[in-house]
């Protein structure tokens, strides 16, 4: 009672519980909704990452690269050629080499050394890429190489290549006589003036199809070969070794006239060309041969001027000495010669 006024005070309604309930509901709604959104977002990230990882693994499994090794003519540098035989393009990001003296070499972005041309290098489906490690090959011992791709794929090879590897490749395409010809290594180049007066190669692509207009200027070819002589004897090539493209008479009435075009072997230091210096193919070791001259023992760039729509039949004609020391290999004692049917080229 309000004793001062002689009456009872009015009672007040309890609102504290209502306010507390509202605040509790707001807290639960805010925290619960945030937690739900967080879980949903994390689940979306997980599903996306899982999908991306699955796609990346599938793409990595689809990478099929053949790695072959060789010695560059002229400087005897260790080289490797990567051929993409899979259904996806690949990007070579690193190369690792272990030498016969247990020395370890690394090449690529982030390392102190890189190849020539520099990594990373893309290789399209059916294409190939050759890089020079700059390592001067020792006369004895084995080099182990590993090529790593952007997807994490790893592909290995040795130099000299093992007998099993060479036999597998030979069964696939190219062992004809003493020389194994690496089918997919055929490459064509433009020959251009560089460094003032020198002649240099500009790589264009694989040599199975060439724009006919390009043949109006000097062009050249390269091919990788391996000496698989059954007696394991070395073969010295002379200046008359060449790559020739033959055009048979046209079928039908009249037949037309057969034609042929020839590029003689030359020497090179990376992309710079020079007249051929006698070179020996060591047993079991792969090398890249360059054909760029219209005449033997010289460097005379050749522009054959082949018409559009012409298909040529390619042959590699090797000549020289077998089991004879290079210094003693002279025309008077030449004892080796081979003609290897190889590929066809379309000039379009």
Concatenating the DSSP letter of every residue in 181-215 gives: E-GGG-EEEEEEEETTTEEEEEEEEETTEE-GGGG
Say how far apart CA 346 and CA 348 lie, in whole Å: 6
Confidence bin at 340 (pLDDT 50/70/90): confident
CATH code that applies to domain 65-159 = 2.60.40.1930
User: What does the pLDDT read at residue 146?
Assistant: 94
Average pLDDT over residues 227-237: 83
Q: pLDDT class for 28, splitting at 50, 70, 90?
A: confident
Q: What is the pLDDT of residue 173?
A: 47
Distance of CA 127 to the CA centre of its chain: 7
Q: Is the pLDDT of residue 12 over 70?
A: no
Select, from the ranges 24-38, 125-139, 263-277, the one with the highest average predicted confidence (pLDDT): 263-277
Q: How does pLDDT run across 95-117, given as a tens digit for each residue?
A: 999 998 888 999 998 898 999 99
Q: In this structure, are residues 96 and 119 in contact, taking their beta carbons and an 8 Å threshold? A: no
The Cα–Cα gap between 167 and 194 comes to 40
Higher pLDDT, 120 or 22: 120
- Structure confidence at residue 8 (pLDDT): 60
User: In which element (H, E) is residue 134 found?
Assistant: strand 128-136
Indicate if the pLDDT at residue 321 is higher than 90: yes
DSSP string, 249-303: PPSSSS----EEEEEEEEEEETTEEES---EEE-BT-EEEEEEEESSTTS--BB-
51 CB-near residues (< 8 Å, 6+ apart): none
Residue of 242 and 55 predicted with greater confidence: 242
Q: What is the pLDDT of residues 149-187, one digit of tens each?
A: 998 889 999 988 776 566 555 544 455 678 888 878 899
Q: What are the φ/ψ torsions at residue 42 (nearest 5 degrees)?
A: -60, -40
Percent of the chain residues topping a pLDDT of 70: 86
Per-residue pLDDT tens for 60-104?
Answer: 677 888 898 888 877 889 999 998 887 788 999 999 999 988 889
CB half-sphere exposure, 293, CA atoms < 13 A: 22
Residue 30 has pLDDT above 70, yes or no: yes
Q: What is the mean pLDDT of residues 309-337?
A: 91
User: What pLDDT score was predicted for residue 172?
Assistant: 45
Per-residue pLDDT of 177-208, as tens digits, reads 788 888 788 999 999 999 889 999 999 999 99
């Amino acid at each position: 009672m309000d004793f001062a006024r002689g009456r009872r005070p009015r009672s007040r309604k309890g609102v504290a519980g209502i306010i507390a309930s509202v605040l509790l509901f707001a807290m639960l709604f805010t925290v619960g909704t945030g937690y739900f959104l967080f879980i949903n977002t994390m689940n979306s990230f997980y599903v996306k990452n899982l999908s991306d990882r699955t796609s990346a693994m599938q793409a990595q499994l689809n990478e099929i690269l053949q790695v072959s090794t060789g010695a560059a003519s002229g400087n005897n540098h260790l080289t490797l050629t990567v051929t993409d035989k899979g259904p996806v393009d690949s990007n070579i990001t690193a190369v690792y080499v272990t030498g016969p003296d247990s020395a370890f070499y690394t090449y690529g972005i982030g390392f102190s050394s890189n190849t020539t041309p520099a990594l990373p290098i893309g290789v399209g489906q059916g294409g190939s890429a050759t890089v020079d490690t700059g390592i001067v090959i020792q006369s004895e011992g084995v080099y182990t190489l590993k090529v790593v791709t952007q997807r994490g794929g790893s592909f290995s090879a040795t130099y000299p290549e093992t007998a099993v590897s060479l036999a597998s490749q030979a069964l696939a395409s190219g062992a004809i006589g003493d020389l194994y010809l690496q089918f997919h290594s055929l490459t064509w180049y433009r020959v251009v003036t560089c460094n003032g007066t020198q002649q240099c190669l500009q790589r264009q692509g694989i040599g199975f199809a060439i724009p006919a207009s390009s043949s109006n200027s000097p062009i050249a070819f390269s091919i990788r070969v391996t000496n698989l002589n059954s007696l394991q004897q070395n073969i010295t090539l002379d200046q008359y070794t060449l790559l020739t493209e033959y055009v048979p008479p046209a079928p039908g009435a009249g037949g037309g006239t057969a034609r042929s075009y020839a590029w003689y072997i030359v020497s090179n230091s990376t992309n710079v060309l020079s007249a051929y210096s006698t070179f020996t193919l060591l047993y079991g070791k792969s090398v890249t041969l360059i054909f760029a001259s219209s005449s033997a023992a010289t460097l005379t760039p050749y522009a054959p001027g082949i018409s559009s729509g012409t298909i040529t039949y390619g042959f590699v004609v090797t000549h020289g000495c077998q089991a004879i020391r290079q210094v003693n290999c002279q025309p008077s004692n030449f004892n080796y010669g081979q003609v290897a049917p190889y590929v066809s080229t379309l000039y379009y």
